[in-house]
Amino acid sequence: MTYPILGTGAVASIGADPDEIFDSLCAGRSGLAPLRAFDRSRFNAQQLFEIDDRQTDGVDEPGRAGRLLVEAVRQAVLDAGLSEDLAEIPVLVGTGLRELRSLELWWRDGIPFDADGLHFEDVLKRRFGAVDTHTFAGACSASLYALALVWDMLELGEAETVVVAGCDVVTESMFGQADRVQFDPPSSVRPFDKDRQGTILGEGAAAIVLSRSVPPDRPVRGWLRSVAVNCDAHHQTAPDAAGVESAILLAQEQAGVTPAEIDLVMLHGTGTPLNDRTEAAVTARVFDGHGPALTGIKSLTGHTSGSAGLLSLIMALRCLDQGVVPPVAGLVDPLPEGAGLRLVAGESLLAPLGLAQVNSFGFGGVNAVAIVGGAA
């Protein structure tokens, strides 16, 4: 079945709501900045795509992931015309790093914290009175994975309306582990460029409201056609072309669409040598001459971990709605595997668009691919 998306909400380093984020993508505005609260003397890499929301500049604080989540959910609920009382509405949250930043501050600096603070039950209950809340830690595809469960709930009639969200702030442990193995940190994120040098983490939250039907007189932001999920079962950090390809084919099959019907692919595009090579090769094989427009958002938002999939999906809906595809910023010379692909570079593409595919892949080979249609 196909389910209406009734509302969207998002925050990222380049904007405080979906409109601002989309405008920044079109204008090429980047959220990359020097480390805002980590001790710069401890890291080789000196830049992240952080959200500038700390109360005191340079001083970190706990609970930021939950705060971003609440803001994205608030926006989505408002956009959907719902009240902020979510007592009867399930809220599913996909996250790569939960409140692990708060855990770090507890262990290192002694701020008050306990095990119940690791997930988002308490913040969602406090702010929205939500009862049926769920936190999934699924690396970088977490929020699209959560969306798959929402599709299942709607399909089986287990809920009438559901909120699904993703959120992440950067942890020192994840940034530090990446820093440890990245001797020459990239100065920017350049997905699908032959000279790309790796990814840089970012912060963000995204939320959408889905329902089994459209309430009378409500506008629709788009339609969810399918979400496929699988696992490479191949390698802890490296992607596997077979797993990625089968997730894409499964999503298209479940949506009942052929590659030729897809107008836009919002790529996972992290800017790492391995992801982009694999994703480009699989995309070329799957679409085999049918040329959907291809773009991605991470050169300007950074890799926002578990929230990335849903943020990409919301941006895909904007593209469909406005007939505008912002370019992959920083893409100058496409990688060899991308030869013949319609990667949008340089300036925005203007075209009528009907259907989009959204890719999201995570550590451990956890793949999620969604197909969405425009509101029209």
Partner 1 sequence: MTLAVTGIAVALPGAADARALLQPVRPGADPVDPAALIGKKGLRFKDRATQLGLALAQAALTDAGIWRDGEPTVPGDRLGTVVSSNLGNADTVCRAVETIAKESTGALSPMDTPNASSNIIASQTAIRYGLRGPNLTVCNGRTSGLDALRWAALMLRTGRADHMLVTGVEPDNEVTRRLVDGPVADGGAALVLSRHATTRAKALLGPVIRTARHVDTAEELTRRAPGGDLWLSADDQPVPGSARRIALTGWGELSGALGVVQCAGAVGWFAQGRSGPVYALAGSAGAVLFAPERAV
Question: For residues 305 and 9, is the Cβ–Cβ distance under 8 A?
Answer: no
Total residues in contact with partner 1, by rule CB under 8 A: 65
Question: For residues 372 and 317, is the Cβ–Cβ distance under 8 A?
Answer: yes
Query: Does position 179 bind partner 1 by CB under 8 A?
Result: yes
Query: Does position 322 bind partner 1 by CB under 8 A?
Result: no
Binding mask 217-236 for partner 1 (x = CB under 8 A): ------------xxxxxxxx
DSSP per position, 134-165: EEEE-GGGHHHHHHHHHHHHHHTTS-SEEEEE
Q: One-letter amino acid identity for 102?
A: S
Task: Give the 3-state secondary structure of residue 174.
Answer: helix
- Output the six-digit token pair for 180: 């440890």
Which is nearer to partner 1, 170 or 329 (by Cβ)?
A: 170
Question: For residues 265 and 356, is the Cβ–Cβ distance under 8 A?
Answer: yes
Q: One-letter amino acid identity for 89?
A: I
Integer CA distances (angstroms), 229 to 56, 148, 212, 312, in order: 40, 7, 21, 16
Query: Does position 20 bind partner 1 by CB under 8 A?
Result: no
Which is nearer to partner 1, 30 or 161 (by Cβ)?
A: 161
Residue selected from 36, 64, 67, 98 as contacting partner 1 according to rule CB under 8 A: 98
Query: Does position 34 bind partner 1 by CB under 8 A?
Result: no
Which is nearer to partner 1, 135 or 299 (by Cβ)?
A: 135
Which is nearer to partner 1, 230 or 322 (by Cβ)?
A: 230
CA distance 78 to 107: 37
Query: Does position 181 bind partner 1 by CB under 8 A?
Result: yes
Query: Does position 243 bind partner 1 by CB under 8 A?
Result: yes
DSSP per position, 173-216: HHHHHHHHH-SS--SS--TTBTT-----BB-EEEEEEEESSPPT
Binding mask 182-221 for partner 1 (x = CB under 8 A): ----------------------------------------
Query: Does position 107 bind partner 1 by CB under 8 A?
Result: yes
Residue selected from 68, 103, 207, 371 as contacting partner 1 according to rule CB under 8 A: 103
Selected range binding partner 1 among 13-21, 34-42, 282-290, 345-353, rule: CB under 8 A: 34-42
Q: One-letter amino acid identity for 29?
A: R
Which is nearer to partner 1, 79 or 203 (by Cβ)?
A: 203
Which is nearer to partner 1, 70 or 345 (by Cβ)?
A: 70
CA distance 250 to 271: 25
Selected range binding partner 1 among 2-10, 96-104, 215-223, 307-315, rule: CB under 8 A: 96-104
Residues sharing a CB contact under 8 Å with residue 5, sequence separation 6 or more, in sequence order: 208, 209, 210, 220, 221, 222, 223, 224, 317, 372
- Please count the CA atoms within 13 angstroms of the CA of 237 that sit on its side-chain side: 6
Query: Given the rule CB under 8 A, which residues bind partner 1?
Result: 39, 41-44, 87, 96-98, 100, 103-104, 107-108, 113-116, 118-119, 121, 131-139, 142, 145, 148-149, 152-153, 155-156, 158, 171-174, 176-181, 229-237, 243, 246, 362-366
